[in-house]
Every structure is written in C-alpha cells, then in structure tokens.
Structure 1
C-alpha cells in the first residue's frame, strides 16, 4: 500500500484528536435534517458547474448516504452544497444531511456505533471513543485507489502526511481536510498602555508581561480553568505543548529500530535526532513503534515525574491562577467575554478566533449582538488584535523550543457496513476531498457564516482573500501532537478512547497544586501514581499486552 512503510506509528487516534475535542469554530448549534435533491432550485451555480463523473461511475453508483456530523453555523449549508453537486454526477445516489447538536454528540455517536444496522454513515469519529473500534471504514484500504475526481490516486488530492493513522492496527479511520493552530492572542492597546513593546518569547517574559498588565489595571489572561479546559480545552492544550518541550529525546526510545515491524531502512536507517528542528520527528521522517513507547513508560524511562515536568508545572504556577482571575479561574468555563470587553489582555485559542474576531468586530460596528456560545457579551470594545506563538519555557529538563498544536482537523469517519456501501461512502468522500468538492463545501459554508479553522489541506483549494490574508500572518513552529511526545501530559489514555478516571484525577491534583494545597513534588508524585494506575488499561485499549512488550519488534497482538 502506498507509503505505508513510511508512515509513523501513531499510538492512538485519541492522543491527537481527543485533545482537540473541545476545539470548535462554531458557537451556535444547529440541527438540520434534509434529503438534498439534485432538482432543488437552490445553489444553481453548483448544478451548472458540477463536473460530470465518468459514465461508468454515474451508471453504477446507487444507494443512500447519511451524514450525521456535528451541527454548527454554516455547516449544514456546506454539506448540502457538496451533496447536491455529488448527486448531479450520480443521480441514483441520495444524500441525507442530518446534522446533530454539538452538546451530547459524543454520547450520541457512541450509541450509534453500538446500534444494530444504523442508517448513519459519516460522523465525527474523534468523539466515538472505543465504540468505533473495528466498526469504521478503514480508509487505508482505499488510499491507493484512483480517484474519479482528479488525475491521480485519492490521497494525492490532499495533504495525506497530516492525516492521523494507526499502524498498530493498520488503520486510517479519520479524514481531516482543514488545519488548525493554537496560539496566543492579545489586545494591542492594553499592551501599549502597559509598556509592553514586544510579545513575550519565553515563559518568564510572559510572566513579566502579566505583571505589567496587572499593574496597568487589567486582568492579564482570560482563560477557562474548569475540568473541560484541563481535559480537552485550553489548559489541556498547554499541558501537552509544554510537556513536549521535555520529552523530545524520547523519540530515541520509541522510534522504530532495525528489525521492527514498522522499520523502513530508507527512512529510519538515515534519520538522526535533531531537537533544534521542530519537524525532525514528523511522521514521514521517522517511524514510531507504539509497543516501544509503552515499554519505555513501563520501565520508567519515559517518566511522568521527570525533572522537565517539574520545570513545566513550576512555571505554570507562576502564571495560573494568579494572572488568570485568581480563584475564579477554576470556575471559568470560557475566556472570550473578558477579552472582548477589553478587561483582559490575552487569551489562548485556535486560529479560527482570528476570523471570529473579524466578524465580531463587524457586528459591533453594525450594532449587532456578539455572543460567546449562546450568551450575549455586553460591553464589547473594538481594539487591534495581535498574536504570538507559544513562549518557550527554560530551565532544567527543557530539551527544545516550544511547539504548539498544528494539526489536521475535521475527523470524518464512516460506519463500516457491506463492501458495496462502504465503496459508495468512500467515493463520496473522494469527491468531498477533491478540489471541486471541497471548493463547494467551503464556499457555501463561508457564505453562510461558517468560520474556517485555518488553511485548507485540499490541494488547489484556497480561502477567499479576506480570510486568507488573516492566516497569512501566522508563523508555524511545529506540531507537538505526534508520536508520543506528550502522551503523559494529562494522565494516561489509550488509543480507543479517553480514560476519564485518569483525566479527572489529573484535574483534581492540578487544581490543588495551582491553588497552593500541594507542593510541586506532591504533584509529581500524584501524577506518577495516576499514570501507573491506568497504564495497563491504556495498553489494553491500545491493543498491546505484556507479552507484546517482551517483543517490541513484532506488531502487537494484544494477547
């Protein structure tokens, strides 16, 4: 299979995608249940411009495809546009767009996977957890297939290297077609008033900037500090980003060794460790072995209580909760309101906030309400927005400069049924991920106020200039969510889903530490106990057994 030997073994889809479960560009839920018809009188441009598929494909494809992804502003319109264009090419196919509310979606999609003979086809698989194991279409089986919608194979249509794949299971079950970057945003007027001439580049500079902002009469940082934030939101992102600064050399432990089932001599035989290169451990440059990663944790080589983690959490305590609202930080569930009201100088968010900010400031100018979720924000003030990348921590155990979360986003999965139906669903996804299909998707969505997360990963598809120029100013610094560099950042998890008990324990002792009720050494001890307590469960859900640890060169069997 194309490039399979070159792919990095990803410990778990969850380690990458559950951490972005809280990343959402949508702030208004919608539910849409439509059977899109090629004869609808809407979207006539799509009907006029849709490319006719080859005669054979148009004649032979038939059936019903049901889309049950999460709803959001403009998302229904986006799906309906691409569905209609697809059905013009394939008149014997019916596409049902039935989007579900974001609230409770995780429970809903898990139940769907456990339902006998569901009508559902396409879902957001990142929230399905262990329910999706063995029940989803494996896109690797189609990766080398010629696409009717381009001049090459399917995976030549988009950035395939950024897709999350799991070679431990030989699976690729999540298709992601746009990108996202997590960064800091700041109010330029407040920085100027506080005498801050340049955004901070180190964590100590961040703390010093916070002190200046506080002295000027503003809250330095507006950020949620509840359990959801530590699990899948802002604090969880920061925990991963800065744990990654301490574990870069661990790639030498979990990289594929000669003789390993995932070793490629043309890649792994020539690779060398370079912590100064933030892309050195990208999946197409070095293969990782999931068994070796767990073996390193089991043997204590990959330690949750390392000196580097002590440095990270000592630095966190310099800023949180002191400069993020004090004790109120832990009860805060969103960080937008104070930032928009000009009461707080900084926040952390995904790059989609840049587009949201532009749209929200236009609403202020026209007298419209600006909301955070469903809540209207009173007293929104217009100001100039600035951004800066993650300030690097310095100190004992820090091995490299900070990276951030720069990943593919979308996580479209499909419930596995019979082969003929699976092929139909994949054909639709081929069209969606083509230049033509995704252009329809983005154009219709943006026209309906859908907010893009970042640049598209589909080749040849560009955002409108007003959005493209916003993202053009970003500088990319590398992705921390790859391999196993942050696998112990928030406790322990397995590839089939979150271990909720471990994450809740992580939040509990982190809350106590940042509140001054635990010392840093006590935090480290509790973190170690947490990881060791749930390590066996994480191995089980990842399909790795104690016997597999004895033979890390062999593909894990779980037996």
Structure 2
C-alpha cells in the first residue's frame, strides 16, 4: 500500500533534528494564514511521488483552488516508508496534517483511538454512497467513516510475456511448485526471474503474507492477530516456502540495497525488461513506466499461486487501496476537497491518466487497460480479502512483520524465528 527506504524506528532517530521536527511543528495548523487575505491553507500529505500521478494530483489541487479562491492547498509528497515513519512520529505528537494518506486498518484505528481523526460519517453521507463498497471497508471503524478511498486493488505478479516465452513458460503458474519451476526456467534462460526492493522491507512482506494466506488460510491471519500468536505451523510453513524461493537466488544483483521507485530500483528493473516479474499492486504499470521505459503489450498480470495442501484459495486476495483521512478539527474546506477529489469526473481523470482502478461507481466505464481489468475482475470475484499486514495490524506489529520477513530474505532469520519475533511484538502490544 501500501506500501520503505528506512525502517520506521531508524527513520525516527535519523530525522529527529531535521525534516521530521519541521514536519511536527508544521502540522495541525490548517486555517487562516494570518494575513489580511483570509486565505485558508490546507496541508495535504500523500505518497504520490512519481509521474504522471504526481502532476495529475497537483493539477487537481490547482483546480480546487481556482474554484475556491480563498483556499490554498499545500502538498507534501513523501515516499512510502518515509511517509509512514513521519506519520508514526506525528501520531505520537498528537498533530496530524489536515488531509493525510491512509491505508485504513489498524494504523488508522490507532489514530482514531487517540482522538486525532475526524469522523466523516455525517459530513460525507450525501455523496460517499457513490463509492464502491469494497473500497470503503478499510476506513470503516465501528460503522463510522474515517477515510475516503481514491484507489482499490490487490497485489499480484506483473510479468514480462516475452521473457516468459524466452524461458519456455507457456502460461503463468497457478501453483507454488509450478512458480518455483518457472523461476528455475527463467534462470536457465539467463533471465533474472524477480525484481525486489530489498532495501524497502514492505515489498518482501507481500510474499510471506500471501504464503501465510495460502498455507494457514486467510482467517488464520486475523485469528493470530487476536490471539497474539503467529507461531502456528501454517505460518512457519509460509516462511519455509519463502526460504525455498530465496535459495533459488531469484532476485536481481544487489537487490538487498535496491529501492522500489528509483531509476535503479525494483519497478525500473521490470519496466526496462531486466527482470521477468515483480509482486506488486495495481500501481505497478505506471511506476514501471515512470522509473523505466515500460514494456507495453508484453506486460501481463497473474494472481499469487495456490500452495499445494494449503488451506487457502487462489481466489483469496491480498492488497488494499489508498484513501484520505482528515485530522480532528480541520477546516470544512478539507472535507470539501475530499468530495471534489471523489467526484466521478475526477475519478475518471485518475483512472485514465494515473492507472488507478475506479472507486466511484459512475467512473467504471473509464477502465480500459486489459491488465487493470484483470485486477478488477479478480477483485470482483474474490472469496476473501486481506488488507496489507503492515496496515491491518497495530503499527509495531506490522513493522515487525516487515522487519522479520526482510531478515528471512537476507538469510539472518529462520522461518521459526520470524513467527517468534512477530508473536513477541504482538504480546508486547497488549
């Protein structure tokens, strides 16, 4: 989702004397600019740092300002993990931006429980029903609305059809054993099978999360969170399956130091035809084109494979979307901007120009990309849905999932140690 160049904990230490403290003092101050103009400045924090989306979002902000001459939208765009680190600090300080990106789930709940987030139930009732129900779910807490979605989707494999053909792979694998065979075939053909941003821990988490869903079953993830115990056999098996993949050395050279959205990162490796696959969300095609060249008609999509003998199903999906929440006490203008952003016309613009999947029912006709249609169809026929683990769980638990899985991929933790570390952190959160 969402969603790591530095760990949250490491970033907090590194930023204490720098931009992090500047951000702490700058937030929570929406309203008059103090001058004679009576202008209301709204601070909007998001993770849209790559083109074309960054430019499209800035354009929408300028349109809103043109329609509301007394309003100024100040955009603060941060890379995924830097954003999460700063928001952890801001939550602790009790000062959030006027409008801020959220993936919903346990992180949003923590902010709501701290009294930092505006209840949008009544103020959005007249128009929020125009949004897809599944897209709204992550932002509903105790049947109250605390966020408005702008994107919805799932994590799956984006692959290069031409490289698969070169390796003699006639169709995307549907089982884990077939997936491992495909990795072997790609390596034999001299093709890097998978690109991974090892420096940013969240992309690696996707593998363990999906494997846990496929082995232990999707319900086990919630039960483990409730019981504070992730040491069950299915979770250990998930780590072992991931270890089996890592032992094939499927990732690009230098992957442990690679970022996600940089010219030498994960997305660029796939976008430039240097790697055959990446496990990523619905934003992947646009990021591949933004950081690399993009592979056009050679790009395909397939869901995460089933694991033989596992309790999970191929039709159970992992992912989420993006949404916006509003700080408690923010100006009404902030909510007005969310309504503007969620209009059918603007959602069509987002779909056609930035590659998101529509969340406004009336904008569904704007979806034409065959791969995104495939994602959308997979979502519509899903028999289960699991939110990103680093958002579904309490922040410390989600971070430990990311950290421990990264350690497994790097070879410094065993599958058993991963489950023990996550369990220890979950119990400490009680």
TM-score class, shorter-chain normalisation, is: 0.7 to 0.9
Determine if the alignment matches structure 1 residue 309 to structure 2 residue 240. no
Whole-Å separation in 2 of the counterparts to 1:82 and 1:336: 26
Whole-Å separation in 2 of the counterparts to 1:166 and 1:464: 24
> Can you list the C-alpha shifts for 1:490-528, whole angstroms capped at 9, x where unaligned?
8x98435656456434533553368xxx5xxxx32x244
User: Structure 1 residues 190 and 501 mapped into 2: Cα distance closer, same or farther (>3 Å)?
Assistant: closer
Q: Is the 8 A contact 1:502 1:534 kept in 2?
A: no
Whole-Å separation in 2 of the counterparts to 1:331 and 1:321: 18
Aligned length: 384
Aligned to 1:346: 277
Whole-Å separation in 1 of the counterparts to 2:348 and 2:253: 46
State the SS of the aligned residue for 1:461. Answer: helix
Whole-Å separation in 1 of the counterparts to 2:271 and 2:370: 22
Determine if the alignment matches structure 1 residue 105 to structure 2 residue 83. yes
Determine if the alignment matches structure 1 residue 208 to structure 2 residue 181. yes
Determine if the alignment matches structure 1 residue 537 to structure 2 residue 428. yes
Determine if the alignment matches structure 1 residue 21 to structure 2 residue 9. no
Whole-Å separation in 2 of the counterparts to 1:351 and 1:168: 25
Aligned to 2:210: 241
What is the RMSD computed on CA atoms of the aligned residues?
Answer: 4.1
User: 1:394 offset after TM fit, Å?
Assistant: 0.8
State the SS of the aligned residue for 2:174. Answer: coil
Q: Is the 8 A contact 1:305 1:528 kept in 2?
A: yes
Q: Is the 8 A contact 1:220 1:346 kept in 2?
A: yes
Unaligned runs of 5+ in 1: 1-16, 24-61, 146-152, 255-291, 361-370, 540-559
Whole-Å separation in 2 of the counterparts to 1:239 and 1:90: 46
Aligned to 2:119: 138
Whole-Å separation in 2 of the counterparts to 1:165 and 1:382: 32
Match of 2:373 among 458, 472, 481: 472
Q: Is the 8 A contact 1:78 1:442 kept in 2?
A: no
Whole-Å separation in 2 of the counterparts to 1:126 and 1:168: 13
Whole-Å separation in 2 of the counterparts to 1:68 and 1:310: 37
Whole-Å separation in 1 of the counterparts to 2:206 and 2:271: 22
Whole-Å separation in 1 of the counterparts to 2:273 and 2:349: 37
Determine if the alignment matches structure 1 residue 68 to structure 2 residue 58. no
Comparing 492-501 with 63-72, which one deviates more in the overlay? 492-501
Aligned to 1:267: none
Match of 1:482 among 386, 389, 394: 386
Larger Rg: 1
Whole-Å separation in 2 of the counterparts to 1:250 and 1:382: 37
Aligned to 2:305: 391
User: 1:106-505 alignment to 2 at 5 Å?
Assistant: 106-110=84-88, 112=90, 120-126=97-103, 133-143=114-124, 145=125, 153-165=126-138, 171-226=144-199, 228-229=200-201, 232-233=202-203, 235-248=204-217, 250=219, 295=226, 297-298=227-228, 304-325=230-251, 328-333=254-259, 334-357=265-288, 359=289, 371=291, 384-395=298-309, 397-401=310-314, 403-407=316-320, 409-417=321-329, 421=331, 423-439=332-348, 446=353, 451-452=354-355, 454-462=356-364, 468-474=369-375, 475-476=377-378, 478=382, 481-482=385-386, 494-495=393-394, 500=399, 503-505=402-404
User: 1:461 offset after TM fit, Å?
Assistant: 1.9
Aligned to 1:544: none
User: 1:71 offset after TM fit, Å?
Assistant: 4.6
User: 1:198 offset after TM fit, Å?
Assistant: 1.6
Whole-Å separation in 2 of the counterparts to 1:464 and 1:249: 32
User: Structure 1 residues 107 and 479 mapped into 2: Cα distance closer, same or farther (>3 Å)?
Assistant: farther
User: 1:203 offset after TM fit, Å?
Assistant: 0.7
User: 1:158 offset after TM fit, Å?
Assistant: 1.0
Q: Is the 8 A contact 1:194 1:212 kept in 2?
A: yes
User: Structure 1 residues 131 and 472 mapped into 2: Cα distance closer, same or farther (>3 Å)?
Assistant: closer
User: 1:312 offset after TM fit, Å?
Assistant: 2.5
Whole-Å separation in 2 of the counterparts to 1:80 and 1:207: 42
> Can you list the C-alpha shifts for 1:271-322, whole angstroms capped at 9, x where unaligned?
xxxxxxxxxxxxxxxxxxxxx7755x25xxxx52333234333322332141
Q: Is the 8 A contact 2:116 2:327 kept in 1?
A: yes
Whole-Å separation in 1 of the counterparts to 2:402 and 2:316: 23
User: Structure 1 residues 205 and 500 mapped into 2: Cα distance closer, same or farther (>3 Å)?
Assistant: closer
User: Structure 1 residues 75 and 509 mapped into 2: Cα distance closer, same or farther (>3 Å)?
Assistant: closer
Q: Which has the higher helix share?
A: 2
Whole-Å separation in 1 of the counterparts to 2:116 and 2:269: 43
